[in-house]
Amino acid sequence: MANDTTSGRIALMKRWHFWLGVIISILLMYLALRGLHLGDVGEALREARYWWLIPGIAVYFLGVWVRAWRWHYLLRPVKAIPTKTMFPIVAIGYMGNNIYPARAGEILRAVVLKRREEVPVSASLATIIVERVYDGVVMLAFVFLNLPELARLTVDSGFVGDIQTLALWGAAAFMGVLSIFLLAAMFPQIAEKVIRWFLMRLVPGRFREKVLDIAMRFLGGLESLRSPREALMVFITSVVIWLLETGKYWFVMHAFNFQVSFFALMLMNGIVNLATTIPSAPGYVGTFDAPGIAVLKAYGIDGAVAASYTLVLHVALWLPITALGAYYLAKEGIKWGDDLDTMQISNDDEEF
* Residue 275 pLDDT grade (very low, low, confident, very high; cuts 50, 70, 90): confident
Q: By mean pLDDT, which of 42-51, 181-190, 250-259, 313-322 is the weakest?
A: 181-190
148 lies in some domain = yes
Which of 149-158, 208-217, 330-339 has the least mean pLDDT? 149-158
In the predicted structure, residue 264 carries a pLDDT above the cut 80: yes
DSSP helix/strand/coil, 258: coil
Q: How many CB atoms lie within 10 A of CB 341?
A: 18
Q: Find out whether 191 and 199 touch, Cβ atoms under 8 Å.
A: no
Indicate whether 327 pLDDT > 60: yes
Its domain, for residue 150, covers 2-32+49-347
Supply the pLDDT for residue 166: 62
pLDDT at position 170 is 67
Structural domain contains residue 39: no
337 pLDDT tier (thresholds 50, 70, 90): low
- One-character DSSP codes across 59-75: HHHHHHHHHHHHHHHHH
Of 124, 91, 83, 86, which Cα lies nearest the Cα of 107?
124
- Highest mean pLDDT among 8-17, 77-86, 131-140, 210-219 belongs to 77-86
- pLDDT bucket at 346, cuts 50 / 70 / 90: very low
pLDDT of residue 89: 97
pLDDT score for 242: 96
> In sequence order, what are the residues at sequence separation of 6 or more whose Cβ sits closer than 8 angstroms to the Cβ of residue 193?
none
List all residues 6 or more positions away from 173 whose beta carbon is below 8 Å from its beta carbon. Answer: none
Q: Binning pLDDT at 50, 70 and 90, where does residue 160 land?
A: low
Q: What is the pLDDT of residues 116-128, one digit of tens each?
A: 999 988 889 888 9
Element (H, E) at 30: helix 2-33
CA dihedral 273, 316, 282, 141 (to 10 degrees): -10
Looking at the domain assignment, is residue 86 inside a domain?
A: yes
Residue 183 lies in a domain: yes
Q: Of residues 83 and 154, which shows the higher confidence score? A: 83
Asked if residue 42 belongs to a domain, the reply is no
Question: In this structure, is residue 275 part of a structural domain?
Answer: yes
Mean pLDDT across the chain: 83
Length of the chain measured in residues: 352
pLDDT at 341: 54
Position 41 in a domain:
no
> 24-33, 130-139, 148-157: lowest mean pLDDT where?
148-157
CB atoms within 10 A of CB 12: 10
Residue 37, in any domain of the structure: no
pLDDT of residue 306: 95
Residue pLDDT, tens place only, 238-257: 999 999 999 999 999 999 99
Instruction: State how many domains the chain has.
Output: 1
% of the chain exceeding 90 in pLDDT: 40
Q: What is the pLDDT of residues 178-196, one digit of tens each?
A: 788 888 888 888 988 998 8
pTM for this predicted structure: 0.82
Checking if the pLDDT of 284 tops 50, the result is yes
pLDDT at 1 over 70: no
Residues near 297 by Cβ (< 8 Å), separated by ≥ 6? 154, 156, 157, 303, 306
Q: How many CB atoms lie within 10 A of CB 118?
A: 8
